[in-house]
Amino acid sequence: MKKQTTSVAAGLVALSMVAAACGGSDDAGSSEEAGDTGAEAEVDEGDTGGEEPAPEASGDAVTIEYTLWDNNQQPFYQECADNFTAANPNIAINIVQFGWGDYWDGLTAGFATGDVPDVFTNHLAKYPEFVDSGVLLPLNDLIERDGVATDIYQEGLADLWVAPNGDRYGLPKDFDTVALVVNEGLLDGSGLTTDDLQALDWNPDDGGSFEAAIAALSVDTNGVRGNEEGFDASSVAQYGYVSNTVYADAYSQTGWSAFAAGNGFEFLDSNPWGSEYFYDDASFTDTITWWASLVEKGFMPDSEILSGSGADTIFADQTAATMTDGSWKIGTWTSTDGITAAFVPTPIGPSGERASMYNGLADSITTASENPDEAFEWVKYLGSEECQSIVGGGAVVFPAIPAATEVAQAAHADNGVDVSAFTVHVEEGTTFLFPITIEGSSVQDTMGTAIDSVMRGEAGVDAIVDANAEINELISG
């Protein structure tokens, strides 16, 4: 049973926007606070501010409700729950799974009434707005009381869940990176092999070897390839490449972000909690100008096709030969009928390096929970090497603890799947963080619309420059 909470009602208008886009987040602190992270946050974590120490779990029999959206991970978290309850007989864990859209819609509506789980899987795009609405329980006192280490995770992951005021709202559970997925069955006739795609490069002038490759992999309805005379860009049967992010996305984790970062683009002046976006920089506008040219040339589907059909369907139907996608989809593409999947690293950009957005999930406790101490016992276990090694053994995601990451890599290897295209970014330090700021929903709507207008050929990059000025005014307070 959950406490009824009415104090969050005022935040529901903003929260209702969260489900509209993966990049949704909103006001989580003032512009003066935006840079107060990192070492200062770690110091604050042990400061209880003179409050009474957090009480320990009561020992009474309770049930903790835990929600997640990924059905592929649910069996492994159920194994964690069984092990946890065996060691803590007074705490039962009830795991509830919803699909992505229903998951966030349900949380948004539930926060208005208090009918929310004790613990839920949280996303970087969402949590700033939840922090602002006061629906997440700060973990600082509990972490201090129990001496929980937050430096055991892959570098940078724990700091992402510290707000500008130093409050921590989650313990990391996993991370993801991006690679190029190749349907090897569609390489026939292109003159290319998977090995040829392992070290692609790109630039905004002629697209480099990446553009040459997707041109060869594009085929029109007359059987003419994109690198052959007479290719009809208006009647394409097979695209050389598809982005697994719609164009109306301000962050494009599985789309242009890897290319833009390889061109030297940085989203923010500081991350997390930056105060100025740099979408107006030439490193970004040049990337998007080139990106739009791939649509015009027929090597990539237009906005209508991508938004209407969806990249997963386009790739699964073998209407695209390659696609950027996240590590959480490895199992999807290695088990899809008709797809012979291989994974190669993202192309090396003009910076001389390849790049990948580095995103991480965490488990958070709601302020509506009637059993926060028992909920924290579960969150601690979810953040432990024992549970994360169980999850890693399922070969679905890369857990946040390095030793458990290695378990996941070994599980993939046992399945005959080479995942080095994803892990190379962590090993070589070519990751960049998902951008976290206040007013995230507005950033997504404003900049996503501007980028889509360029991709549709309805506007030039001036639309992006104007949108950048607008969102910077928003986040500067």
Q: What is the pTM of this model?
A: 0.85
Residue 194 — pLDDT band, cuts 50, 70, 90?
A: very high
Same fold, 9-176+362-414 and 178-357+437-475: yes
Distance CA 139, CA 292 (A): 44
Q: Provide the angle, in degrees to the nearest 10, between the axes of the packed helices 440-455 and 462-475.
A: 180
What mean pLDDT comes out for the span 35-40? Answer: 30
Burial of 139 (0-12, 13-18, 19+ CB in 10 A): buried
Give 146-173 pLDDT, tens digit per residue: 999 999 999 999 999 999 999 999 999 9
Q: Distance from CA of residue 327 to its chain's centroid? A: 10
At 57 the pLDDT is: 63
* Among 175, 217, 195, 215, CA closest to 359: 175
pLDDT digits (tens, 9 = 90+) for 338-378: 999 999 999 999 999 999 999 999 999 999 999 999 999 99
**Residue 436 vs residues 30, 36, 114, 390: alpha-carbon distances, Å:** 13, 13, 26, 30
In the predicted structure, residue 33 carries a pLDDT above the cut 90: no
CATH of domain 178-357+437-475: 3.40.190.10
| Residue that the structure tokens 């992505």 belong to | 100
CA–CA distance, 150 with 169 (Å, rounded to integer): 12
Q: Is the pLDDT of residue 333 over 70?
A: yes
CB 157 within 8 A of CB 59: no
Condensed to tens digits (0 to 9), the pLDDT of residues 271-326 reads 999 999 999 999 999 999 999 999 999 999 999 999 999 999 999 999 999 999 99
Buried-exposed string 36-47: b where 16+ CB fall within 10 A, e elsewhere: bbeeebbebbee
By residue count, the chain amounts to 477
In this prediction, residues 90-108 reach a mean pLDDT of 96
> Cα separation of 112 and 100, whole Å?
19
Instruction: Kindly report the average pLDDT of the chain as a whole number.
Output: 89
What is the predicted pLDDT for the residue at 440?
87
Phi, psi of 64 (to 5 degrees): -100, 125
DSSP letters for 173-185: EEEE-EEEEEEGG
Among 314, 341, 467, smallest CA distance to 415 is for 341
User: Does 137 or 8 have the greater pLDDT score?
Assistant: 137
Of the pLDDT bands very low, low, confident and very high (cuts 50, 70, 90), residue 25 is very low
- Predicted pLDDT at 3: 41
* Alpha-helical regions (H) of 202-339: 208-217, 257-262, 282-296, 303-309, 311-316, 330-334
Query: Can you state the percent helix, strand and coil of the chain, rounding each to 5?
Result: 40, 15, 45
Mean pLDDT of the region 172-200? 97
At 125 the pLDDT is: 86
Residue type, 258: A
Beta-bridged to residue 356, according to DSSP, are 431
Average pLDDT over residues 259-263: 98
Q: What CATH class has 9-176+362-414?
A: alpha beta
416-444 mean pLDDT: 94
> Residue 88's pLDDT is what?
97
Give the pLDDT score at 110.
Answer: 95
Residue 214 backbone dihedrals phi, psi, to 5 degrees? -75, -25
Tell me the residue type at 12. Answer: L
| CA 294 to chain CA mean position, Å | 25
Residue spans of the domains in the chain: they are: 9-176+362-414, 178-357+437-475
CA distances 315 to 163, 196, 312, Å, are 38, 20, 5
Give pLDDT tens digits for 39-84. 333 333 333 333 444 455 657 899 999 999 999 999 999 999 999 9
Q: Which among 195, 190, 176, 188 is positioned nearest to 342, based on CA atoms?
A: 195
389, two tokens: 């090694």
Cα–Cα distance, 257 to 250 (Å, whole number): 9
pLDDT-above-90 percentage for the chain: 83
> In angstroms, what CA-CA distances link 266 with 165, 176, 257?
24, 19, 10
